[in-house]
Structure 1
């Protein structure tokens, strides 16, 4: 009994009833338009004085409603109403206007059903409760049995008066059952008629892919710019602390380098945040042509010995290639700062045919059976004195190498990193003309 009571009068049933009454309210203008055609066709001056003519006006108004449902906002409004009142899961309904012909047809079918069921239930909700109340109180108020009120003469019999309250209550229950059943049917049909089409799913997937691409781009920019700066600043501060009492000139140089690095990093961070705020940035991104010398100077100040060979004029590179090449070199040097055993790196940039080749190499050191360490693999020797050991490092996810690979792939190039004999080598090849 409790299950039946919840189905007929529970919170969900009441909300669906409201949804149906809203459909009836939406149907009224179309019924009025239908009556304008039914009246002259039947010669009637009072269409609403005849129940048959009312039904005819209602039936004529529904096709008109189906046509107006092609308005773009119809489906979003109906979806919002279904989500709020019918208890249908959000992920089973589509977002936005119907775009394809099939989606528009299904939205029109839903709108017609909503107004059709809603018009019937709304009409019953207006007419049935007063009649049921009269039946319930009929044995008490003799005046209600006046023939001028139009009630059937059979209600004057004693047995009819006895059963009238039961009949009135049954009529109310029947109204609730009709409303609950209609609401349940509409809730079941809603995902099929208002659910996403293949085109909607494709559009949603494309939007998610675009959002993910932006997120990945921001992640790469933050990792490569801020990550490199923090690594350099950390090493510079560590070196300055060790020689604070013995080499004040070096400390002053290290502090100046830290100041310059942080200032540049704030500028680059503004560029990345500009992408977040406005989708673009007015701060130019660093490029190989304009910023390579400063990058090498800052990295050398951090303690890395760099031998460079540049066999290409960076200013001749397209801006997108110059920008991504700068980030690749920056990340490669950052990895060497953090992980290379011998703080010595060879950087080679050259143009070969239609490609730009970037190679970074640093020697690996044999630790007597321990894993060799390079720009992508490191370990801490516990045989060193405590004051010379490296700080414990957090587990790394190789995000830098993944970022380099992503940058190269987006331009149509390739990236490889790993040990080659006694050298750790990073090699990236980019097309000189940028992405095809």
Structure 2
């Protein structure tokens, strides 16, 4: 038990973490130097015109007292926090997640950073001064019993080391001084590490900003997921339907309808080519890791190509007037809504015809799609899908409405979007 305790104490005093914290304190002492030099300029006249670099303790500590408020003022700049965080994260042994990120933008964050910086340079100046002065003094004290000439020297007299008792107690006294320095540095480093999360950690404003950033990132990811789902899901459903129809035609008769098969293959080619382009655009955003607010993709101007690619689904969708004045954002979402409606009809309705219309009604874009409910029940994928939920989210984000479900003997999708633009 005693051995374990001794090793634990030695680790706290001489371990790697203690050494790094000591380096952090010495860095604080180095940062204090410009403020301390400026303080000595002021301290000399205040203390009766003493020299700027006088060795008087009064001048030294007066300059130290003047330096600390100067350091606090300069630490109010926002960029002080990321620099302080970088040093504390590397040297203080504090978990990375407990620090705030970015400049100190709020008043509370700037005041906390100023407090940390003042504490860093203040304690660092004291520890650095002791680190420079105490080891030579302690070594000299330990050498006194072995050097009569040293005991009679001016250095020993200046430091009051010509006392008789030091002839016998110089070595223990010197070792105790060094141990006291190590213990003081370890305690100061531990104190700084405890204060780091409190003074350099996120403020309530930082946590709110981080939560908003995470929400924005999740929103972008959801938008990209909807784009991928709608684009790829529709393409696969259309290609599956076209390929299945072509296969059935080829299997039904040796004299197959070559024109129909050629048309199905052309539709497959066009659908896959269009989808690859859309997929490249969305994956490009994922590679960039950011979103410019406007996802790329086709709009209502590409509706004819979409309906042509779904020819085997027997689509009879009437297109009204006024689509040219639909805003670009609404146009893209409307295209995806029509695409998802066709995908659901192909996937779940067993090849039933799809009818409806799309057009501007007053200040709203109206999309209505219907298909008869299949007699044998819809074809449902294992595990279900998220297409209709994503469709409702698209409409809601634009300030519109979307509803889908059975009405009598048909399945109806009805969507209304404001043409004045999305929120």
Normalising by structure 2, what TM-score?
0.89
SS at match of 1:395: coil
The residue that corresponds to 2:94 in the other structure is 88
Alpha-carbon distance, 1:27 to partner: 0.3
The residue that corresponds to 1:416 in the other structure is 403
Contact map agreement 1:275 1:281 (CA 8 A) in 2? no
Take 1:191 and 1:83, find their aligned partners in 2: how far apart are those partners? 10
Contact map agreement 1:274 1:280 (CA 8 A) in 2? no
Equivalent residue for 2:279, pick from 266, 269, 277? 269
SS at match of 2:145: coil
Contact map agreement 2:141 2:173 (CA 8 A) in 1? yes
Change (3 A) 1:366 1:261: closer
Take 2:147 and 2:283, find their aligned partners in 1: how far apart are those partners? 77
CA offset digits 1:92-117 (Å, max 9, x no partner): 22111111222211111111110000
Take 2:350 and 2:212, find their aligned partners in 1: how far apart are those partners? 44
SS at match of 1:175: helix
CA offset digits 1:59-88 (Å, max 9, x no partner): 111111111112232111001111111122
Take 2:367 and 2:95, find their aligned partners in 1: how far apart are those partners? 52
Equivalent residue for 1:225, pick from 224, 231, 238? 231
SS at match of 2:60: helix
Take 2:168 and 2:310, find their aligned partners in 1: how far apart are those partners? 100
Change (3 A) 1:281 1:53: closer
Structure 2 residue 25 is matched with structure 1 residue 20: yes
The residue that corresponds to 1:321 in the other structure is 330
Structure 2 residue 308 is matched with structure 1 residue 285: no
Structure 2 residue 368 is matched with structure 1 residue 362: no
Contact map agreement 1:147 1:153 (CA 8 A) in 2? no
Equivalent residue for 2:11, pick from 6, 29, 32? 6
Alpha-carbon distance, 1:273 to partner: 4.2
SS at match of 1:27: helix
The residue that corresponds to 1:295 in the other structure is 306
CA offset digits 1:20-41 (Å, max 9, x no partner): 0000000011111111111233
Alpha-carbon distance, 1:299 to partner: 0.8
Alpha-carbon distance, 1:333 to partner: 0.6
Equivalent residue for 2:136, pick from 105, 130, 137? 130
Alpha-carbon distance, 1:285 to partner: 2.9
Take 2:273 and 2:216, find their aligned partners in 1: how far apart are those partners? 31
Gaps of 5+ in 2: 1-5
Take 1:335 and 1:180, find their aligned partners in 2: how far apart are those partners? 68
Gaps of 5+ in 1: 380-392
Segment drifting more, 20-29 vs 314-323: 314-323
CA offset digits 1:151-197 (Å, max 9, x no partner): 5366434xx43332222221111111111111111111122211212
Change (3 A) 1:282 1:176: closer
The residue that corresponds to 1:395 in the other structure is 383
SS at match of 1:156: coil
Structure 2 residue 421 is matched with structure 1 residue 434: yes
Take 1:28 and 1:124, find their aligned partners in 2: how far apart are those partners? 15
Equivalent residue for 1:36, pick from 36, 41, 46? 41
Alpha-carbon distance, 1:214 to partner: 2.0
Structure 2 residue 342 is matched with structure 1 residue 333: yes
Alpha-carbon distance, 1:434 to partner: 2.6
Normalising by structure 1, what TM-score?
0.86
Contact map agreement 1:221 1:272 (CA 8 A) in 2? yes
Alpha-carbon distance, 1:411 to partner: 0.7
Q: Map 1:162-241; keep pairs closer than 5 Å.
A: 162-241=168-247
Aligned residues: 409
SS at match of 1:49: coil
The residue that corresponds to 1:387 in the other structure is none
